[in-house]
Chain A
Amino acid sequence: MTANLPAITGIGSVTPYGPLAGLIPACSLQPSAITAWTTAGLRRAFLVEPFRPASVVPGLKTRRLDRLSAWALVASSLAIQDAGIDLSKVDRSRVAVVFATGFGCVELTESFYQSAAVNGWSGTDPITFPETLANAPAAHVALFHGLRGPNIMVDSKSFAGECALIQAASLIRHGQADLAIVLAGDTLAQAVYGWYEAADLLSPACYNSEPLTEAAGFVPSEGVAALVLEPVGSREGRSYASLRSGRWAAGGQPFKTIRQMLGGSVPNLTISAGNGAPCATSPLTSLAREIAGPDAPIVPPQAVAAGLAETGALLHLILALSSRPQSGQALLLATSGKSGFAAIHLELP
């Protein structure tokens, strides 16, 4: 799998850390109180502070878009900027967009339901409807940047971010795109937060203003992370990491499959992409130790990325890269349920 080996050459993000190009500077982050809708007492989450997209990306018009689409536009622009790519000099019919989301444009979906609640199904808003589609963010990224390659939205239970990364790498590897913008993220809407709450999945830290502790569990988060992928060596410039291979599955034999994928290599670092489910961490640690040895270092999952649930992988990776790990081979690893897993084999420069 060395032909057209994809490398990560640009990073952009809109997360509770703010809109950022490149790596995310280390800082402590605590959940903040939800004010976007009325709550029965204090409710906290990792939230993106409101900002004007056009102040980050001049000329960006996002007035009628779901926040997810707006953030995808900002994050993709920042990633392209970080990669130092001048799109006017690129064959844009060969640029793909692969976007992972679990809930899609849920705010405008809520808004569409609201119009149905008020006016009946016969009185819904025609402008809102197309913007509720889950592929709207990817489509807006293509439209804004003029990208005419494959444009895809994917979701995968527990592993949407990893799935997007693997699918985008596949497009490059098979010559179906020369460059790919991979994005993953979600917004927190009232119905989503309410579902977590009703399902009793929230950490106690969501209900009080105590600092988040490691044992606190699941605090929902929101944001979009973006990566630029292009074949290794296709252009002079920096590479954050190259993607050697990737696998994910709903079950089976994770150890055997990952060992097979690694082909005899032993990663010297495991980056945990544990998601919001409280049980996700310890099976992951066991699997990581089985693969890389009992003393191999593991970058623990960051609560802000874990709160993104199935779309957190890209943010986990960005945060791990931001901690400036030593060069060598790394494994981005996530587990789910009894034997579900996602593993991406990376080469860090």
Chain B
Amino acid sequence: MKIYDKPVIVIGVLIFLAIFAFPLWTALGTTPPQPKVELPKDMKECVAPTEYMKSSHMQLLNEWRDSVVRDGNRVWVSHTGKQYNMSLTNECLRCHNEKSKFCDQCHNYVGVVPFCWDCHTYPKEAK
């Protein structure tokens, strides 16, 4: 197969690829920014194992919501046998008391906007 003006086209394609891949080669060797989650200092354990909370806290919150609102059951017995009050504002935020240093870190990082805060309140933070 014959390509007319082959050198010009090849160089053009290479230049295009170089520009197109600009975000990739400029970021080579650098580490992307990581979310900085600040954990409560005086507490050792959460309502469920850390790995589970990292991956599935949203499912857990949905289960809590259904249990509290629809079944009227408000006490959570955790994997270690400790009892908790199933409440986002009154229990989760009691330890994780700065939303911007905990919740928002990952949510902003992955670009999700949970609508919890449309209704549920969180402690006021210094701006």
Same assembly: no
Mark A residues whose CB is within 8 Å of B: none
